[in-house]
Structure 1
Amino acid sequence: MTQSLSHSTTKNNGKEGMKQEHVNQIQNAISAIEKRNIQNVFFVACGGSMASLSFGDYFVTKDTGKPSFVYTSNEFVHSQPKGLNENSLVILRSHSGTTPETVKAATYARNIGALTVAISMDTESPLCKEAEYVLHYNYKDGSNAIDGEIGIYYTFIFKLLKTLTGDEKYDRGIEQLSNLEGLIETNQEKHKEAAFEFGKRNKREKTIYTMASGAYIHHAYSFTSCLLMEMLWINSNAIHSGEYFHGPFEITDYDVPFLLIVGEGPSKPLDQRALDFVTKYSEKVEVVDVSKFDYSGVDDDLKEYFGPALAGPVMRLYADGLAEHTGHPLSVRRYMWKMEY
């Protein structure tokens, strides 16, 4: 349900806050959740949208004890999971709101009786019209980052986690999102030169592997599938750091490139173990160490939540570096949007 709401903004510690229309959209969805006996949560989308939702699944699973699942939209519709019912929350995302599989997933979930929340940049899109509740984010309009896709989704997830657990730390998380825009800019600036050099060194590579764990495995998947394979036509595979030693490490050699995300959080030892090994045998290892990000204004117990929000914009720079040196714009497609599939 999309409502006509005020475009005034809230203020947070003297910083520009979220627009009131977005505040209201999020609160409407949370109020509906509070009225339901939510027993499980489904995160449903495709490609990069699925990856962007998946960190929510990670923290719902880790923090709440509620069963949580990530589905690519088409499989969600075809597999018809038995756990989906009127006590389910289904969170869907499509950047444009037009992804046919995700629209069908919203229709299927509503027909079952689940509570549906759609996230998109276009409130008039088929997805937003199909879902019960809509979270709209601003895109390329000069708005504060808090009104962008990261800020909107994080605010909603923090509120969802607070609803499911009652823990006050998520209230602090929402307050500290006022630092988001500055932190994104600071950490991108910190990695800009390294990303440019990464592109220069790897411009002729035909294969680049990515590796991560915890909430960051979704960044590795997105970087692999959406940036390297889709946008740059570079062969790749996303390797979970904990699975590296159970098969994939056999392809490691001195001339095999890896991009490894060392995360902030409980799975960091998995990343460190993989890093210790891969740097012994490959001379082409690039590391993005999330634990060394600038977290100014973020409490220590919230760093593991903010890390994924900052890692995405930083990882994008590494794709930009490859695009710059390969002469292959990220906007070029061979099949996508050009033919029937």
Structure 2
Amino acid sequence: YITSNEFVHATPKALGKNSVVILASQQGNTAETVAAARVAREKGAATIGLVYQPDTPLCEYSDYIIEYQWARYPETVDPAQQKAAYSLWLALEILAQTEGYAQYDELVSAFGRFSDVVHGAQRQVQEDAQRFAAEWKDEKVVYMMGSGPSFGAAHQESICILLEMQWINSASIHSGEYFHGPFEITEPGTPFILLQSSGRTRPLDDRAIRFIERYQGKLQLIDADKLGIQDLSTDVGEYFCGLLHNCVLDVYNLALATARNHPLTTRRYMWKVEY
């Protein structure tokens, strides 16, 4: 993917009438994303807008509109109808329609079981989330780690939750990149949250875990294999790891915000000053 403002200022040369551009904005009014949709349309590309709020500026420049579900309390929404899930659906369909995909039916079947797996995982981690919140509420910096599809979830947690919504210094580190420099900051008590994936990139996570434990870093593991990812599929379940981690992190985020008396809606600059 590419961030909206970079798309506007460094527009891919391949963009044209044979392109499909997928854009997302919660309220449908993110200025950079609206501008990106306008640029895409001007170049003749088909545009798909993912929004929570309909009838918003992004919709004006979207040939197709998908309204996704969102709520502060995760148990009140269907995980298969959230933004990230629709993104995977779209990628799957585009791949299947343009090149064909041998495991298409298996992925569709896994989507049918996804909501049950997520809700079961969210119930499973309730107690651990409370423990985590009590033990981590005073941390001044937290490093997020992950690999494969779960690296996206780690990055989102770092910038959207820890930095934006909790004002906790954070960085997202790919489990494979950890050994290319970042591991030098590891010492007793250094806080890491690692989203342990399932499938082909799990060895990258395992290696990072061993090093962090060896040097006594403070480690919170959220293991997709222990949260039911294999109930989706043994072959394509890994593609759902990031989605599952996103949904499970919702439980931890609410617990942490409560323990810190810092609601997830708190902002210092966003929507309040010119930027």
Change (3 A) 1:152 1:104: same
Matches of residues 37-186 of structure 1 in structure 2 within 5 Å? 70-140=1-71, 144-186=78-120
Long gaps (5+) in structure 2:
none
Distance 1:239 1:279 in 2: 17
Distance 1:240 1:307 in 2: 15
Determine helix, strand or coil for the equivalent of 1:336: coil
Find the partner of 1:269 among 177, 199, 203.
203
> 1:85 Cα deviation (Å)?
2.0
Matches of residues 185-200 of structure 1 in structure 2 within 5 Å? 185-200=119-134
Distance 2:141 2:48 in 1: 37
Distance 2:199 2:231 in 1: 18
> 1:212 Cα deviation (Å)?
0.9
Distance 1:120 1:229 in 2: 23
Q: CA RMSD in A?
A: 1.9
- TM-score norm. by structure 2 comes to 0.92
Distance 1:304 1:136 in 2: 25
* Structure 1 runs of 4+ with >6 Å offset: none
> 1:278 Cα deviation (Å)?
0.7
Distance 1:114 1:183 in 2: 36
What residue identity is the alignment partner of 2:25? S
Determine helix, strand or coil for the equivalent of 1:332: coil
What residue identity is the alignment partner of 2:43? I
Equivalent residues of 1:94, 1:127 under 8 A apart? yes
Change (3 A) 1:86 1:102: same
Distance 2:171 2:231 in 1: 35
Distance 2:80 2:11 in 1: 35
Equivalent residues of 1:138, 1:147 under 8 A apart? yes
Determine helix, strand or coil for the equivalent of 2:141: coil
What residue identity is the alignment partner of 2:123? E
> 1:238 Cα deviation (Å)?
0.4
Equivalent residues of 1:137, 1:148 under 8 A apart? yes
Change (3 A) 1:256 1:146: closer
Matches of residues 199-218 of structure 1 in structure 2 within 5 Å? 199-218=133-152
Distance 1:261 1:146 in 2: 20
Equivalent residues of 2:17, 2:44 under 8 A apart? yes
Q: What residue is the counterpart of 2:220 in the other structure?
A: 286
Q: After superposition, what is the alpha-carbon deviation per residue over 1:88-132, rounded to whole angstroms, capped at 9, x for unaligned? A: 221111111110100000000111111211111233111011111
Distance 1:122 1:272 in 2: 40
> 1:155 Cα deviation (Å)?
3.0
Change (3 A) 1:295 1:251: closer
Find the partner of 1:328 among 254, 262, 268.
262
Q: What residue is the counterpart of 1:313 in the other structure?
A: 247
Q: 298-307 vs 147-156, which deviates more? A: 147-156
Q: What residue is the counterpart of 1:3 in the other structure?
A: none
> 1:168 Cα deviation (Å)?
4.1
Q: After superposition, what is the alpha-carbon deviation per residue over 1:262-293, rounded to whole angstroms, capped at 9, x for unaligned? A: 11121111111111101111241111111222
Determine helix, strand or coil for the equivalent of 2:159: helix
